[in-house]
Amino acid sequence: MSIRIAESAGFCFGVSRAVETVEQAAGQGKQVVTLGPIIHNRHVVQKFDSMGVQVIDKPEDAAPGMTVIIRSHGVSRDVYRRLEARGVEIIDATCPFVKRIHSIVGKADAAGQLPIIMGTRSHPEVEGIAGWCSRCEIFESAEELENWVKAGKISTDTPICMVSQTTSTEISWKKSVQIAKKVFTNVKIFDTICKATESRQKEAAQLSASSEAMIVVGDAKSSNTGRLAMICREKCANVVLVDNASELDPGQFKGVAKVGITAGASTPAWIIKEVNKTMSEIINADAVQEESFEALLEQSIKTLNTGDKVMGIVTSIGNTEIQVDLGTKHAGYIPYDEVSADPSVKPEDILHLGDEIEVFVVRVNDQEGTVQLSKKKLDGMKIWDDMATYAEDKTTVEGVITEENKGGLVATVKGIRVFIPASQSGVAKGGDMAAMLGKAVQLKVTEVNRARRRVIGSIRAVNSEVRKAAQEQLWAEIEVGKKYTGTIKSLTSYGAFVDIGGVDGMVHVSELSWNRIKTPAEVVKVGDEIEVYVISFDAEKRKISLGYKTAEMNPWNQFMTAYNVGDVITAKVVKLMTFGAFAEIMPGVDGLIHISQIADHRIAKPEDALTEGQEVQVKITDVDAENKRISLSIRALLEPVAEETAEEAVEEAAEETSEDTAE
């Protein structure tokens, strides 16, 4: 019998994110509760219950000061508001893909469209989606939608917005889309089935088609698990839905040669592994039952060989060795120096009387009836087994960077040296790899060669997964006007590309500055962190248009905030015209000094009194906000002096007249 496990089995991104959210909150010592079960799996809920995380049924059950976590299915707008009114800390663990549906139906409702939702009416995800619009209709299958049409439940010219529960089947959704496109004259369709769900369902269909029996692992209450079972039954006659390994019945797999295993999005990895292990044991048990009496007898008296891995029971702990009962005629023993590779570990600290342990056969002495054993060697072999498993399962592991060389880096993972080529180090070409020394890193084991005792790993592969997850979350939550902190990745003649969390958007050169610039390099440089906002986006083409300049950055707005009519300022003459001179008050804002306001006497042309680049004291005499025009005057600052001089001239003339008369 062969057993195959679907690669997509188990937690999806949204469920994994929700579970991690609860674990982090619980680890901070908060009084944590979840509004409804965090996911549809009783084992996970029981685990959190043991950690002190309780489940409440409604917002009113939450007491002030509690931390309430909204589950991955999401809640309605009303439930959210009721929680806010309770004075609690709210942590929203709603799946980003479900959040996107909330946004879609909310906007459609506001625009006068009727949201219609494909999904199970009683499912919490569907109830939550319906709670983000004032009205909606829910249908559970393409057949029900077709019956609506025949009964005239919805007018064909009604503006429609159609979405789906994230875990709906792709087949039913496509049928519904065809019906909607054919019937409704004004319909917008959003494919909101989670891609992870779609992939899981496709793989389940393929695996069940080539298997004689299928095991679907998950909570029977989970809609996602139920649909997987339904899909498998379409391809395979023998489909078993189990909550955990204890529900497996060996009798259901008699005569079966090929077994497939898949699991719903809410099924933890450890339950899937238990099911796989139990199925392997069932296979072995069947094999033993088929063995002849002679074979069993031969097995019981067989001689142990060097290199064998055997199970035994610790029967004695002496001063120099551990005695082990192997269930054979031989007396097994483990020298102290073969117990652990760590010299600081005492054998009695890790081994106790009655312990069942697996050991490696180092030497067999049939004459004396003794077997020298080693736990240390077997542990070392198991680590290599683990490395092979990590490579096969593409598991992310943690290591510490211990060396740097010309070819890359070396990390230590469970005592094994893992070589990481420079191209897989996650450090940019030409970057300082030495800065990685001593750091704990996440990596994937990509190649294992036991014969050469060589392991190769990749940090880049993990970074790529993290980046991909960040991209999916960003596309699920993006909306026009949303702000991001991004990093300038590259510059072109027409704009700047900005990384806003795993996704690059472009800021056009016209959106970089309120002033006229020739190149983006006049404003930003590669590596700069800047605040940007979404102007528009195309999810299908994966394009995002970003803005950088804001109303607060507008020079005119800055001028209006900082200056008033009557203020005296220093301005720089930037251009001379026949009718006057333009002076820069601040970058991007110029004012006009009319020729009549340049001097306290008539001049033929501005050049007679001013030169370009000259800084002058001016008075703001008028501001035309509507047309964005500013009038400046030098003369307004000179006229008081001129008037005083005229008065002095009159007085002098009067004195001269008096003197002439006296003579």
Please confirm, yes or no, whether 540 is among the known catalytic residues. Answer: no
- Backbone CA torsion sign across 220, 223, 225, 230: positive
Angle between helices 170-183 and 195-209 (to 10 degrees): 120
What is the sign of the dihedral through the CA atoms of 4, 7, 12 and 17? positive
The two three-digit tokens of residue 260, written as one number: 């497939």
Q: b/e map of 174-211 (b: 16 or more CB within 10 Å)? A: ebbbebbeebbeebbbbebbbebbbebbebbbebbeeb
CB neighbours of residue 513 within 10 Å: 18
- Report the C-alpha gap between 352 and 142 in whole angstroms: 63
SS (H, E, C) 176-234: HHHHHHHHCCCEEECCCCCHHHHHHHHHHHHHHHCCCEEEEECCCCCHHHHHHHHHHHH
Report the C-alpha gap between 300 and 519 in whole angstroms.
Answer: 83
For residue 43, which of 329, 254, 184, 247 has the smallest C-alpha distance?
247
Catalytic residue among 7, 23, 84, 125: 125
Extract the tokens encoding 279: 């199925």
**Helices 223-235/195-209 angle, 10° precision:** 30
Q: Which residues contact 445 (CB under 8 A, 6 or more apart)?
A: 387, 390, 391, 395, 397, 413, 418, 455, 456, 457
Q: Among all residues, which ones are annotated catalytic?
A: 125
